[in-house]
Amino acid sequence: MFKNKTITSRELKKISLMISIIGMIILSYSADTYYPEQKNINDIDEDLQGQYILVCGIVKDLRQAGKNTFMQIEDKDKSIDIVFFEKIDSIKDNSEICIKGVVGIYKGKVEILGKSIA
């Protein structure tokens, strides 16, 4: 009734490539549409380590070191350090900013590894 059909190496490569492309499109779309939870600086602590969040505040202590950008942002209660592993020229001191990033701990201090400016 049914004949056994084997898949050739070439056919398997084509199927794998198509599945990979579809997967990358889905991942790209979901990454662009995912919006992290907004947190107040006062609420960011070690318990949030590894979480992707959105934080807003006023830029203080902005500096560039090689290809990295370091800054501190503050709201009415507290401040937090932000690190971008890229040079960002569009940020100015004392400007309001919202940053998407991952909460991390460096030398025992909570900071945010910046991914993008919202």
CA–CA distance, 96 with 92 (Å, rounded to integer): 9
User: Cα–Cα distances in Å, from 116 out to 17, 30, 77, 91?
Assistant: 30, 16, 23, 12
Please report, in tens digits, the pLDDT of each residue of the chain (118 residues total). Answer: 566 678 888 988 999 999 999 998 888 777 656 778 999 999 999 999 999 999 999 999 999 999 999 999 998 889 999 999 999 888 899 999 999 999 999 999 999 999 999 8
Closest listed residue to residue 117, CA positions, set 104, 105, 92: 92
Query: Under a CB-based contact definition with an 8 Å cutoff, are residues 23 and 55 in contact?
Result: no
Domains of the chain: 37-117 (2.40.50.140)
Q: Which of 101, 94, 93 is nearest to 64 (CA)?
A: 93
pTM reported for the whole predicted model = 0.69
